[in-house]
Each structure stands twice: as C-alpha cells, then as structure tokens.
Chain A
C-alpha cells in the first residue's frame, strides 16, 4: 500500500470514483474542503481539542501481561480504543467529518451503519455540533443491534431501516448514497470506513491515523523501539479503517529498517 492516493484517488489498482455523476461535483467540493482543513490551524486545533476533552484521547496503550504470559511468547500490548467516548474508535472519524460538514456549511449529515458503532458515533458528533442526522441501517442489523438503535434515537438521530437487498451494511451504504444523490446540496455523507469514492478513503484514513500516531509514540516511550507485529481485527468491511489508520503513520522507511518493522495482520 502506497502512502497516498494519486490525483484520481487510486491506491495502486484500488480506489477511484465509481458513483453517479450527480455526486462528482460534491465529491470534488469535499476533496477541496478537506484539503483546506488539513492546513487550517483553527480546524485542526478544534479537532485536537475535542479529541482530548470530548473523546477522551489519548487512549492508553496497555501491556496485557497476563495475556502475554498465557500466550507464551510475544509481549502483547492493547491500544484501548474501546475507552473512547461511545465505546469505539468510530468517533475519531465521525467527529472529524462532522466538523468538516459544518465547515462546508451543511446542516444535515447522513451515515450508514452495520453493528451500530459508526451510527452511534455520527449521532453523537451531530448532537454535539447541532447537525440534523439520519442513519441508514439494514433492518436485519437493527434487529440484531437494538441497543445501539436506541442509543442513536436517544441522541436525536433518525434511524431508517433498509429493507432492500440483504438488509445489512452494504445495502445501508447503497441507501445512504441514494439519499446523498438526492439531498447533496444540504447534506454531508459521513462514511465510516475506508471505502467508497475518492476522497473518502483518504479522509477516513487520516482521521483514524490518530490511533497509530499515539500507539507508536506510546510504544516507543515504553520500549524505545517498534513493535514486531501489528494485529488488527477485521470484521466485514468495517475494520479496514483502523487498519489504515494504525499503520499509515508508520508505513514509511523507519518501520522497515532492519526488516523488523510492523506488519499488518488482519484476521
């Protein structure tokens, strides 16, 4: 995986923009607005501040000594993203994109969600920033994840069941895209994973890279070195976000020196 996408949003053979023409102008607007915020000190300052005071960052890097002993080999550290506000790393990206939506003057955000973590994160960020929020969720997923549906509704979000296709995450993404095609002038779509058209993969990766920056910094502080292996859990489509987020800050030369740099391992 290369460090950044080319100008058309390709990471090697992956990427690009396969969406209806209606979305191309808004995507270009999004890419431009996003590029501006990267250099915008005020924006970055606000985000950093919220990550500390609202999300509860930095999350601890914890040496799981009992687990390490039990596994009989590697010393195992856990980066405790579960301690973020709302209980998952999803809030890092949701908050970044909600701020971006405000910056672009949009009053409404929409999102897809599978298990509900991204939906809860977006509902939370929208409530914090005073944005209208609608979350699309497969009806099958809604049944399975009822507590998260209640949380989203408690936060003021409208949760819309998706009855098409397999009634799961991919259909929720399709439905969110259809909403966006229709309401594109007022609405920002907060995609929750490293997928979808350019510039989404880049945006999600960048907002999640805080995990990797913290983790590698914390690791170096305690061990004076780099981990031999980075292990991430991947569940369906959902976890590619953290994979890229954790590894992107350290995918450069320093990691590979000596051939002992971190490797990605998804399982």
Chain B
C-alpha cells in the first residue's frame, strides 16, 4: 500500500477527512521549508503538498503567484525542491509528500530523471496542474515506474468520461477542484458542491480530495462531511507571506493549521 493510500484509509477509519496542506517550497526562502513542513505535520497535516515554483503558474491565483515569485527569487529550483524533500525525510517526517507543479519544469528536468530523483528523495506523488488526461501518458509511465502516484485533477467542467479517465489513470487520490477558477482563498464555496462531489465519487474508486478556495475551519468542516480529503493552500501561503522571515514563522503556521486539521473530523 502506498503512503498516500495508507493515510486516506486511516482517515476513513477514524471518521475524518485527510487534511492536505499546501505550501510553495522555497517560500520565503529555501532554508525555511523544512521547518514549515514540520510545523504543518505537527499542526495536523496528513499530507504535505509541496509546490515547485514556476515562472508561469497559469492555474494559480495572486497568492500562490507571489509565493512562487518569492521562492524563485530566493533561488529555489526543481532540484532544490527534491533536495528539500530528502531533508524533510532526514528529519524523520513520515507524512506523504506530493509535488505540485506544471509540465514545464518536469520536462526541462527530464521526465524520467525527475521521477527517479523525486522518488529517491522520498516523494510519494506528483500533481501537474496543466497536464490533463490527454497528455498524462507522457509522464505516467515514468512516475509509476519510480513508485510515484500520478495525481489528476477533475473540475466542475469535466465530463463523465473525463472523470472516469482521470480516476482510471490516477493513483493515490483524485483531486477535485471545487470551482472554475484559479487557486486562492475565498469566503464562500460553490453551492452545487455536494451534488457535484457525489457524482465524482460515484465514478471514482480513488479517494477524492477537494481543494481550491478553502480557507476557514467552517469551510473545512463543510467539505470534510462530503470528501475523503480537504486541501488548504492559499490560506496557509497568506500566513507565510504575512509572517515573512520572522523567527515565529513555524509557530504561526502550526497555530493556524491546528483548527483546520481539527475541522476535518466528521461530526
């Protein structure tokens, strides 16, 4: 059983949704990412989603764009992110790590080499936001061969056939983007989420995690009722942006995610 599968099935048994926390690796600086990862785990993250910063992040809203710019300016590279994953493992952290990025950095790195290096460092899955099912075959064999779970996205505009294909080609979990739009915190969730999510779950044997726009414990609770996993990204990245390079950064992050992780418990 892969680490991701294990986490989702443990969460199900505990009657809670898995809490997936996203940050951009290298934000505010590459040196801080390991302590942020530790703070997230201590705060209750079940899965760590680590963004590899990219100069043209078309699926990301302003918050994550700025995070990517900060990380790139601070000298973060794909190789640097993979090394960071290795460092996180050296610290004894055992939570599954999903690398979240775009096709371009992976193609530039070399798909097979990327897969081998990422897996050797201890990554568990890769999510490429601009690689739909039509293009995933270019990456999937390399990922599977190295034991990485390819994670695919479905959205409210995905047809049934596309959802089925994503569920068939993906591993670990299926990522449901809860709205049409880019990443970023918002105060209300889509009204049709419940019905849409039911439809997706019917077509997928994989656990379904919901993300994009979830920022408060109340929203987490609402989604945790329906989904196998809840992803919070921009709201955490906002905190990192505000805290900057202060000494209390890790503590701030940990304190911020505790109520989010607790909200994953189904009442």
Contacts and interface: CB of A to CB of B under 8 A. Distances in A.
B182 A181 contact: yes
Top 6 A-B pairs ranked by shortest CB distance? A182-B181, A25-B157, A22-B155, A20-B59, A18-B130, A177-B58
Contacts of A262: none
A58 interface: no
Interface in B45-69: 55-59, 61-62, 65, 69
Q: How extensive is the interface on chain B, given as a class?
A: 20 to 34
Interface in A143-172: 164-165, 170-171
B247 interface: no
Given A17-B134, A18-B103, 14 more contacts: A18-B104, A18-B131, A20-B153, A20-B155, A20-B177, A21-B166, A22-B155, A22-B156, A23-B157, A24-B132, A24-B158, A25-B157, A171-B56, A182-B182
B61 A178 contact: yes
B135 A16 contact: yes
Nearest to A178: B182
B162 interface: yes
B53 to A, nearest CB: 12
B187 to A, nearest CB: 16
B180 interface: yes
Contacts of B59: 20, 178, 181
A21 B132 contact: yes
A18 B135 contact: yes
B245 interface: no
Interface size class of A (residues with CB under 8 A): 20 to 34
Interface in A16-49: 16-26
A176 to B, nearest CB: 9
Contacts of B162: 21, 24-25
Contacts of A182: 180-182
B157 A184 contact: yes
Contact of B158 (A18, A21, A171, A174): A21
